[in-house]
Amino acid sequence: MNYQKLTEQIKIKRSFLCVGLDTDILKIPKHLLNNSDPVFSFNKAIIDVTAGFSVAYKPNIAFYESLGWQGWKSLEKTVEYVREKYPDIFMIADAKRGDIGNTSNLYARTFFEKLEFDAVTVSPYMGEDSVKPFIGYPEKWVILLALTSNKGAADFQFLKDEKSCNRLFESVLKTSQAWGTYENMMYVVGATKAEKLKEIRQIIPEHFILVPGIGAQGGSLQEVAVNGLNSRCGLLVNSSRGIIYASKETDFAEKAGEAAKEIQQEMEKLLKTANLI
């Protein structure tokens, strides 16, 4: 999906919500465990009730890998389902990959060709040749970790380079801009670092920012929007546990739909306030 279409979808749905499909077999409602593929059954039900309120889905690959090849199969079925039934949804593989060029090429092949994701999250530690293989596929995106939502972000991401005086996450933002454009690169900035979004917007005024960390991790949507929205929205805000585990009973899908709708309505207000719709 290209930049223009993603931006259009945000306007049509009045939402910049990304639903994190962090589907943990230990947390899904018990009655689903009798199905032949409980993870896919859960995802399908969640997708059907939330697709009207969200522009993107983000399966975190760890959850699928933890079930071995069966989990990988559930992931493939989930992507195929969205691709067929909701072709206007942006699909993000939250994989945080990154390796030497030869290997990153294979990861790109996996997520963009074997599975039809629109975007993959990538760790910047190994630099340009680990990221470049994900750039250049038409209408595909790399989403580079910049400032993450977790406590450990403080360990290295704030180290300040003596030469440029940039902190590491700023170096990542600045250096990597030469590798792609706002039409094929996004960045991850955690909602728990929302006060930094204003500074970050100075460095990347046009790029989309994927913001995890509202809900269970404690970030505020309002604060993210005020600091992070740009002239064409430029935000995808992710919620996982708050939506997909809104209920653990037989009404899980209904409650997930309500939780997604609630966030969408808050987003609609924020988009209106910012004169974006």
Binding site for its own copies (CB under 8 A): 22, 24, 60, 62-63, 65-70, 72-73, 76, 94, 96-101, 103-104, 106-107, 109-110, 114-115, 123-131, 145, 148-157, 159-163, 165, 168, 171-172, 175, 217
State in angstroms the smallest separation of the CB of 271 from its own copies: 28
State in angstroms the smallest separation of the CB of 134 from its own copies: 12
DSSP string, 254-265: HHHHHHHHHHHH
Helix, strand or coil for residue 73? helix
Calpha distance 79→162 (Å, rounded):
44
Return the HEC string of 14-68. Answer: CCCEEEEECCCCCCCCHHHHHCCCHHHHHHHHHHHHHCCCCCEEEEEHHHHHCCH
The single residue of 11, 73, 77, 96 carrying the catalytic annotation is 96
State in angstroms the smallest separation of the CB of 161 from its own copies: 4
Nearest to 7 by CA among 221, 204, 232, 210: 232
State in angstroms the smallest separation of the CB of 239 from its own copies: 14
Calpha distance 131→228 (Å, rounded):
24
Q: How many residues does the chain have?
A: 277
Contact 83, 108 (CB under 8 A): no
The smaller minimum CB distance to its own copies, of residues 185 and 229, is found at 185
The smaller minimum CB distance to its own copies, of residues 9 and 41, is found at 41
The smaller minimum CB distance to its own copies, of residues 65 and 251, is found at 65
Calpha distance 204→169 (Å, rounded):
12
State in angstroms the smallest separation of the CB of 27 from its own copies: 11
DSSP 149: S
Per the annotation, the verdict on 96 as an active-site residue is yes
The smaller minimum CB distance to its own copies, of residues 161 and 251, is found at 161
The smaller minimum CB distance to its own copies, of residues 110 and 230, is found at 110
Which sequence positions are flagged as catalytic? Answer: 96
